[in-house]
Amino acid sequence: VSLMVPSILYMLISSPGSTELLRKLKLRVIIGGGALPRGLAKRAEEAGIQVVGGYGMSETAPILTIGTFNKQASEMGKEEQFEHRLMAGIPIALVDLKVVDSSFKEVPWDSKTIGEVVVRAPWLTHEYVNDTEATKKLWKNDWLNTGDLAVVDPAGYVSIVDREKDAVKSGGEFIPTIVIEDALSSFPGVGEVAVVARKDEKWGSAQLHSLLD
């Protein structure tokens, strides 16, 4: 079992001569520090690496969720289980987590309604030293506000779609960058993918630029 960010996974499976060794090792890798594009995950699985998504941040010390199977997911087919392993997952023990709208109401578990992830747990950061303003933004309504946008599926699995401050909002609608990155990463010959925003007079928030390697 290992833990790494997506770019390290990409370098690992792209390293010359790594294929035979990876198949022998039969690694199980927990991915954190960024969303895992579906295309990269497929390549990793083909190389004999089982990938599992996770989510957390420095202020949460660090992990909050992991893509293990709950009762509903354990009864799914292989392809659905693969998709759920790539998600941020379900909260670990002692973590109380929900995704809320701007009124702090929990969003429906419909895989499409976007809200902010807020959490409570015994080990969370209490405050930022000598920064009361940042602390006020971090803690609201007795919940730690992560600043991450997510959706929740009917099985209770969280999928991170963007950082709130980096989100693409075009014509009043959020466009999850991970969805675009997933699609682009599935094309043959595409390695790492990043989708970023550009200001646009008509749509207000952004147009999308894709950077492919």
Q: Rounded CA gap, 119 and 114, in Å?
A: 16
Q: Is 168 exposed, middle or buried (0-12, 13-18, 19+ CB in 10 A)?
A: buried
Within a domain: residue 76?
A: no
Amino acid identity of residue 154, one-letter, is: P
Give alpha helix (H) positions in 29-141. Answer: 38-46, 71-74, 78-86, 132-138
Within a domain: residue 178?
A: yes
Structural domain span for residue 176: 167-213
| pLDDT digits 0-9 by tens, 54-79 | 999 999 998 999 999 999 999 999 99
| pLDDT digits 0-9 by tens, 171-208 | 767 777 777 777 887 888 787 777 777 776 666 555 55
Within a domain: residue 193?
A: yes
Per DSSP, the three-state class of 199 is strand
Q: Provide the CATH number for the domain around residue 210.
A: 3.30.300.30
Query: What pLDDT is recorded for position 184?
Result: 82
Within a domain: residue 194?
A: yes
Number of domains observed in the structure of the chain: 1
Within a domain: residue 175?
A: yes
Within a domain: residue 153?
A: no
